Structures are given as C-alpha cells and as structure tokens.
C-alpha cells in the first residue's frame, strides 16, 4: 500500500512539478524562488497526502498562497528600504509609484486573487478553476470580471496621478 502511494506521488510530481514551477516563475520572476515555492507546495501536499481529495487544486492554491507571502515579503523589504532612505518623504504612495499588474493582483481580495492567478497566470480554463476552488463557473466568471474592473479602475487612477 505504501509503495502504491509513493508511486502515485512520484507520478504526480513528474506530471505537475514543471507546470507548477513554471507558473510560479511567471509570478515571482525568479527561477530559484519559483522552484522553492513549487517544492514547498509539494512538501505540504505530501504531509497531507492521504487527506487531500484534489492534489492539483491543493498544489495551486498552496502555491498561490506562498506566492502571495513572497510578494508581501518583497513589499516589506521595499518599505524598509524606503524608510531607511530620505526619499520616502518625497515619493508618492506605493500604489501610485508602482502600478505594476503583479502588485495590483496581490492587492485583490483572496476570493478574486485566486481565480485570477489560476485562470490568467496558470492558463487554466474557467471550468478547471471552478473545480479547483469548489465554486460554480458563473461565480468564477463574475469574480474574474470584478477583478478586471478593480484592476482597470486602479490602473486609471495610477495613470491619472502620473500625468
């Protein structure tokens, strides 16, 4: 029985690790960090191997949370550097200074952020996002629409402040 579980885990790793690591790479823009996140997601899956009904969904949601934590860490580092320099007082607010889509996606509420990460960054169809998140396809479509509207409004505000 243990051998069968180990074989299943090895097959899952071989099938999903490259895609998961590539997805993480696009989100964090660093090979080493992407591999660390993908590896950590698999480590957390192995710890719960017998209790996880949908391993792929577990991996992507776990990786999305780890990416979010990575982004938060980067933002904390940026804020610390800004505080350590005298420039912090003259710069505009971070959301005005850096309207990058990655930071904007990071700022979305989790119910919107996870479908955006899975659909747009992992190239998963809405049906698959629905299955992985346990929400109806219509809800996923509505969440993606709401996320796009929030991102659009934020980008407009950022552009208005830079003109």
Q: pLDDT in tens for each of the 163 residues of the chain?
A: 778 878 888 899 999 999 999 999 999 989 999 999 999 999 999 999 889 889 999 999 999 999 999 988 888 777 766 665 644 444 444 444 444 777 888 888 888 988 988 888 888 889 988 988 889 999 999 999 999 998 888 888 877 765 5
- For residue 88, what pLDDT is reported? 41
DSSP H or E run through 157: helix 137-162
pTM for the model stands at 0.58
Cα angle for residues 42, 16, 14 (degrees, 5° grid): 90
Cβ–Cβ < 8 Å for 117, 67? yes
Domains of the chain (ranges, CATH numbers):
1-90 (no CATH), 93-162 (1.10.10.10)
């Amino acid at each position: 029985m243990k051998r069968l579980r180990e074989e299943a885990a090895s097959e899952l790793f071989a099938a999903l690790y490259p895609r998961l690591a590539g997805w993480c790479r696009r989100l964090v823009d660093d090979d080493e960090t992407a591999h660390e996140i993908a590896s950590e997601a698999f480590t957390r899956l192995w710890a719960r191997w017998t209790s996880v009904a949908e391993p792929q969904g577990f991996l992507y949601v776990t990786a999305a949370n780890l990416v979010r934590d990575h982004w938060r860490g980067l933002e904390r580092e940026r804020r610390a550097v800004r505080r350590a320099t005298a420039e912090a007082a003259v710069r505009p607010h971070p959301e005005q200074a850096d309207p990058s889509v990655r930071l904007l996606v990071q700022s979305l509420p989790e119910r919107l952020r996870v479908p955006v990460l899975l659909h747009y960054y992992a190239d998963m169809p809405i049906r698959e996002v629905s299955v992985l998140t346990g929400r109806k396809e219509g809800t996923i479509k509505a969440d993606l629409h709401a996320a796009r509207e929030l991102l659009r409004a934020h980008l407009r505000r950022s552009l208005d402040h830079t003109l």
